[in-house]
Amino acid sequence: MSTYLFTPRREAGSPTGIGVGLKGDLKTLGSDIPLPSPGEGPYLVIVEQPKQRGFRFRYGCEGPSHGGLPGASSEKGRKTYPTVKVSRREGGGQPGREVTVRL
């Protein structure tokens, strides 16, 4: 499971003046960005990755879709799908809102 933190920040040149900073697993990003704790703002947790060697993106000219992307733990009789969870903490570290999405 990987955790990515999305932190709003002021950004010059952005149409709204606000950008979103992405901070994630150092191994994933390959940088030396210090990671804030999940209590500092909204964060994204990848619950299930797409299956390696699964289906790939198809252009419209290649014909119809071959179904959804299978999840990493998908088996012949039990389908799973890539899933992410967006969470945040309320003030004082209280549990906040949480949204889980299957892709």
Distance, CA of 96 to CA of 61 (rounded, Å): 44
The segment with the largest mean pLDDT, out of 9-13, 23-27, 44-48, is: 44-48
Position 98 scores a pLDDT of 74
Judged by average pLDDT, the poorest of 16-30, 43-57, 85-99 is 16-30
90: closest CA among 47, 44, 38? 38
Half-sphere exposure of 85 (CA within 13 A, CB side): 12
pLDDT at 77: 93
Average pLDDT over the chain, rounded to whole? 66
More confident of the two residues 56 and 81: 81
Q: Which tokens hold the place of 99?
A: 């949204």
Host domain of residue 22: 2-102
What's the structural domain count of the chain?
1
Question: Which residues contact residue 38 at a Cβ distance below 8 angstroms, ignoring those fewer than 6 apart?
Answer: 3, 5, 87, 89
Q: What local confidence, expressed as pLDDT, does residue 24 receive?
A: 43
What's phi and psi for 46, nearest 5 deg?
-85, 110
Q: How would you classify the pairing of strands 18-24 and 43-48?
A: unpaired
